[in-house]
Chain A
Amino acid sequence: MTMHESLIAMGVASWLLPALVLWPLIGAAMVLVLGRDARPRPTGAALPSDSLGSGGPDARALTLAVLVVEAVLGIAAWLAFDADAAGWQLRTDLTWLPDLGAQFSLGVDGISLPMLVLTTCLMPLALLATWDQITTRVPSYGALLLALTSGLVGVFTALDLLLFYLAWELMLIPMYFIIGIWGSAGRTRAAIKYVMLTMFGSLLMLAAIAALYVMGGSESFHLDDLLQLSMGLETQLWLFGAFFLAFAIKSALVPFHTWLPDAQFEAPVIGAVVLGLKVGTYALLRFAMPLFPAAVMHDTVQSVVLILSVIAIVWGALVAIVQPDLRKVLSYSSISHLGFIMLGCFALTQQSVEGAVMIMVNHGITISALFLLAGFLKERRGTDRLDAFGGLARVVPLFAVMLTLSMLSTIGLPGTNGFIGEFLVLIGTYRTQPLFAILATSGVVFASVYALRATQRLLFASLDTKSNGGLRDLHGRQLVVMGVFAIAMLWLGLAPQPVLRRMEHASTALVERVRGTNAGFATPAPRGPGSLTLATPVRPATAGAPLR
């Protein structure tokens, strides 16, 4: 009996996903009610957990405990997933708004599963790494973080569009507060810009969802039902446009990208980490592309998106080269990476789509590690301006090793996780759009410039600023967290096969649905005899309730 079979036999399928969505909300309530604010630390105090006193458990520790449970549930979802089955898994349908036909319908496939696991595992790690960085109004902070987690998990698991929309907004509001309350000097402007742009997109999306609902006439918001709709090209173009705009803004596609560097710069580090999760492009793959295939394949749409993608790749990288702060370099590098994801999505081959999802996952890992490292600098020196440092490799060698490894992952050095997605996107894109693939490949050159420039400014040359000589290297929980990131980067770079294998059915289905035909290069061909997939034939998922 395989791991997933035993887990299914234990009945996890019926409660795992709802638990994943709701548990952080319950946790948020617990933290708000029970959690005790951290005492203002006397300067130089080593451990924050030494202040055990009256007033219930430490809010931060409680938050961490809730997030750890959430991560365990996320890993359970990974284990319960059947890599050889097509369709939704761990599917749960609960009645929610019967008058409206909206259901509390959750499920995962090979595209959402990696994002779900990434999110749930990232949150406790990020909290642990930024442990000392938030000292005011900790219970509210913890509760908002948990609400945010719930929103993220909801986005990655919702199959009902209204539920998805709710989760989408549930992400927005805590993030707004996290930036607005715990951010740095320019937080208000950044938070408002972030909310206004994304709200604008959300409203368009809400309108499009409403239109789909009305047109469908089946009184359902469920993706499976809406996928049955047949729409004319013009309708598809309008609705796709609304969805696309919402997701493009959320994922900071050029020219809707300018909110991201500000938000990530002003937000507390953990906020920057969450903003690095690619919810926008996930939603694009999950909803916008399968719902409106004719629009996606439309020549003008294709040209516009592909051109924007290539511009984003080059633009983001070039602007990243001239940024004065590490976190801004990272933000613009994200904008550049987003170009690769978009390219992969719209090139629509099996390799390019799986590559795009791989970048979403790997970028989430790598950019988080980098933002956390930038946060360590800011925590210690109050700034992450590149010219405030230099020669740090002498002072903080462990930090230097981690920064170098993460930067190498960013520029896609083979052997690191960053290479896999980029390579798959480009090799897949070349089959349908060779010119765009070649243009995009030039991004690897520019990426090396910004990454090595930032690395060098921080780590090499002489140690000019005396106060940097006393910087403390990574230690304790920071070291543990960074170790986990390092292992993840190398593991996914050398052996991404477990993730790719789980994606196979979902990406095939997506490509075939959007392309409408069984395009030659989209067919999954037999793999090498080394892989196990051929041993078991494709069968529908048995888990979850049947379609209503």
Chain B
Amino acid sequence: MAALQTASAHPLDGSLAEWVWLLPLLPLLGALLNGALVLWPRLSGVTAEHASLDAREAETGRRLAGTRWLTSIVGPGVMLAAFALAVAIFSTMRGTADLVTPFVRTYASWMPVGDLSIDWGVQLDQLSVLMSLVITGVGFLIHVFSVGYMASDGGYARYFAYLNLFVAAMLVLVLGSSYPVMFVGWEGVGLASYLLIGFWFSEKANADAGKKAFIVNRIGDFGFLVAMFLLFSTTGTLDFVGAHSALAMASPAVFTAAALFLFLGCAGKSAQLPLYIWLPDAMAGPTPVSALIHAATMVTGGVYLVARASPVFAGAPEVSLFVALIGAITALFAATIALRQWDIKKVLAYSTISQLGYMFVAVGTGAYAAGVFHLVTHAFFKALLFLGAGAVIHAMHAAYHHAHQHDQDAQDLRNMGGLRRYLPITSATMWLATLAIAGVPPLAGFFSKDEILASVFARAQGSPLASATLLGVPGSALLYLIYAVGIITALLTAIYMTRLMLLAFTGANRTGDQASAGLHEAPSVMTIPMIALAVLTVVGGWLNLPELLPLGPTHLLSDWLDPVTGDASRVLGGTAHLDHGTELMLVGTAVAIALIGIGIAYARFRSPVATRENAVPETGIAALLGDAYRVDAGLDRTLVQPLGVFASRVLWQGIDQRIDRAFVAGGALITRVAGQAHDALGAGDVGRYAWVIVLGVLAMLAAFTLR
């Protein structure tokens, strides 16, 4: 593919980086191929040959079974190829000196209208290549896991078509060279998410969950769109490079408005208050989907956007503070709900919302590298936790299937217990991930969470954020508050995750004597990806070691990202600085909090619980948390239902149909005045009326002609 537009000389010109366009194209190719496999039996006449639905589905299934091997190769295969390409490009970039400006390639003109010019282009820089590595790497592992997890599903090829499509869109999101191209990926991942949440669409609840996710995300997209309009009308371009440099001249109000609207988009995509409501429902999708889309990649899109638009946010310290505040509140809010969930995936879903809150705390305080660092480590350990949950659910399903107990809930922690005996690998790897997310050194989560909290604490003094005010409250006080919230959330995180592990893997088994005989460890196609993620969970912290703990080269990730987010980070960081004594104290606090949390959970949740069937209904605060503060029901009553009634009763039946009747009545009046009998019209003498029109027109023409 020839680049139409060649920028001035760039160190990556002519290097392997020129192949970056292939990165999103590979999974797209996989999606098209798998999609063709799905539709091929239908296109080639299954419909015509078989009258009944059952016969048709049986025939389609038979034909699809014949191509299953191809899907198993293509689905993960394109991911492996993309990952290899991403690694190759990354090594090229690492080996290139003076990589300061992004490598931008434009391939075709998309929307050229007047002074607006939007091109299909990609931007390769330190941030986008890092995201590509995570997406293709973790994505590949989850594709492999899916081969086992979805093995007996009738929609096998359709699943991989959607999953490949998702990765393609996600790569467009991170590699796009302008806001509109990013928006293509942004909505593309939303579409893939919608399709995958509702993957088992025969259940109404699943389809509803997909719909809800899409609509709530659209509220965020509204913000993204308005931000683009604002940026274009201010800077005359929507390319990242051009818009950000032209923005330097803009007034503070423009920065504030653009950052706020962009953040609305982020809150939708990354499930922050108040737009988080779709993510718990999104657990209706297959569990590997939750791992890839709703934990590791798509939901971090908002964090990526803030980092990508860091020049915008750096110009609006108040909005940045606001972002951090929303992140902190979300983190705490979701963590409290996670304490009282019984569905293993719901615990992880609220945990994800909570961890995303941490990332927004980081990028909101201008610690972009710390936010991206946590994004990466979270991708490792949370993907692992979800895959582990998938292995557990897989085993529970098989067990209940084995015992013919199909009405039992395979995801309820109360039905588990003692699973370590049956799923040793799952148990061990999930424990590692749990310790990581709880913040136990030297696992990945410890380093990334610690860096976030340390940055917040540092910036509470001597930074532009500290001297800014939000709603009359000084930034300094807010930042200390955010730090405190972060510490409390860390405590809760340690508690709810340990609770999950204790309930699922320790104590006596509650699956039932009959069913427990069917419990077994997942096949190696599923455990190997989990082991790989476990390794990353252990070593991930080495990506960005602090100076305080020089267990190897320090600040690798921060230094790597410096050309992209460094300037903005320094603008918001000001002269903020931590001395080693304070830093040591912060680290000590964080570790102590993690250990206390684990201890509390051990003390509280080691006692046996009743199975789901025998459970006593909860009351008080436990029930409130179990129902996630009843936000969904409240929104339904106060917003969704009234809007429907308003549209139906007021707008449609009230006004619309009344206007209609008025027009008809008015028309009847006119015709009466004109001497036409109303009855003749009502009786429907079509021809006569139309001839009147024809003659009328002719008469008018004649009148003109004979003038």
Contact = CB atoms under 8 A, between A and B. Distances in A.
A496 interface: yes
Count chain B CB atoms within 10 A of each CB in A172, A196, A413, A475 and give the residue with the most. A196
A176 B690 contact: yes
A102 B203 CA distance: 64
Contact of B694 (A173, A472, A473, A497): A173
A300 B8 CA distance: 50
A413 B225 CA distance: 12
A378 interface: no
Contacts of A408: 191
A394 B57 contact: yes
Given A444-B225, A524-B114, A529 B42 contact: no
A460 interface: yes
A508 B114 contact: yes
B215 A528 contact: no
A99 B230 CA distance: 55
Given A180-B690, A463-B202, A394 B53 contact: yes
A338 interface: no
Contacts of A35: none
Contact of A528 (B117, B201, B707): B117
A524 B130 CA distance: 38
Interface string A198-240: 0110000010001000000000000000000000000000000
B108 A530 contact: yes
A431 B646 CA distance: 32
Contacts of B682: 188
A360 B509 CA distance: 64
A195 interface: yes
Nearest to B38: A397
Interface string B630-672: 0000000000000110111001100011011001100100110
B647 A431 contact: no
A470 B663 CA distance: 42
B470 to A, nearest CB: 23
Interface string B209-243: 00100110011011001101110110000000000
Interface string B93-125: 000000000000010111111111101000000
A258 interface: yes
Interface stretch (B44-52, B300-308, B332-340, B365-373): B44-52
Interface in A352-401: 354-355, 391, 393-398, 401
Given A414-B183, A470-B51, A398 B42 contact: yes
Interface residues of A: mostly helix, strand, loop or mixed? helix
B47 A197 contact: no
A193 B664 contact: yes
B362 to A, nearest CB: 29
A491 interface: no
Contacts of B110: 494-497
A55 B106 CA distance: 61
A393 B201 contact: yes
A524 B686 contact: no
Nearest to A472: B47
A294 interface: no
Interface in B528-547: none
Interface string B424-439: 0000000000000000
A442 B704 CA distance: 48
Given A197-B663, A259-B663, A531-B109, A445 B116 contact: no
B225 A426 contact: yes
B229 A529 contact: no
Contacts of A508: 114
Contact of B690 (A173, A258, A463, A497): A173
A453 B647 contact: no
A319 B215 contact: no
A456 interface: yes
Contacts of A523: 114-115
B121 to A, nearest CB: 10
Contact of B111 (A262, A496, A522): A496
A243 interface: no
A455 B222 CA distance: 22
B701 A427 contact: no
A428 B111 CA distance: 13
B686 A530 contact: no
A97 interface: yes
Contacts of B183: 414
Interface residues of B, number: 82
Contacts of B647: 318-319, 321-322
Contacts of A548: none
Contacts of B686: 176-177, 180-181, 188, 191
Contacts of B201: 391, 393, 459-461
Nearest to A320: B647
A11 interface: no
Contact of B119 (A351, A448, A463, A530): A530
B673 interface: no
A527 interface: yes
Contact of B222 (A398, A444, A462): A444
B109 A461 contact: no
A176 B693 contact: yes
Nearest to A102: B704
A538 interface: no
A397 B39 contact: yes
Nearest to A354: B113
A162 B704 contact: yes
Interface string A408-448: 10000111000010011011101100100110011011001
A72 interface: no
Contacts of B233: 427, 430-431, 434
A304 interface: no
A169 B202 contact: no
A176 B226 CA distance: 42
B52 A470 contact: yes
B580 interface: no
A349 B52 CA distance: 56
A57 B651 CA distance: 50
A500 interface: yes
Interface string A506-521: 0010000000000001
B246 to A, nearest CB: 14
A100 interface: yes
A192 B222 contact: no
A528 B53 contact: no
B191 A528 contact: no
Contacts of B188: 414-415
A525 B215 contact: no
Nearest to B184: A414
Contacts of A351: 113-114, 116
A4 interface: no
Contacts of A414: 180, 183-184, 187-188
Count chain B CB atoms within 10 A of each CB in A199, A415, A463, A530 and give the residue with the most. A530
29 contacts: A97-B704, A100-B704, A172-B693, A192-B667, A193-B667, A196-B671, A197-B667, A200-B667, A210-B704, A262-B660, A319-B656, A350-B114, A351-B114, A398-B42, A426-B229, A430-B233, A442-B222, A444-B225, A452-B215, A453-B211, A461-B204, A475-B48, A496-B111, A504-B114, A528-B4, A528-B5, A529-B4, A530-B119, A531-B109
Given A322-B647, A460-B201, 11 more contacts: A100-B705, A258-B657, A259-B660, A351-B116, A354-B113, A398-B43, A414-B187, A415-B187, A441-B226, A445-B218, A508-B114
Pick the 9 closest A-B CB pairs, nearest first.
Answer: A350-B114, A460-B207, A430-B229, A530-B4, A258-B660, A188-B684, A525-B115, A180-B686, A461-B204
Interface of A: 97, 99-100, 102, 162, 166, 169, 172-173, 176-177, 180-181, 188-189, 191-193, 195-197, 199-200, 206, 210, 255, 258-259, 262, 315, 318-319, 321-323, 349-351, 354-355, 391, 393-398, 401, 408, 413-415, 420, 423-424, 426-428, 430-431, 434, 437-438, 441-442, 444-445, 448-449, 452-453, 456, 459-463, 469-470, 472-473, 475, 479, 494-497, 500-501, 504, 508, 521-525, 527-531
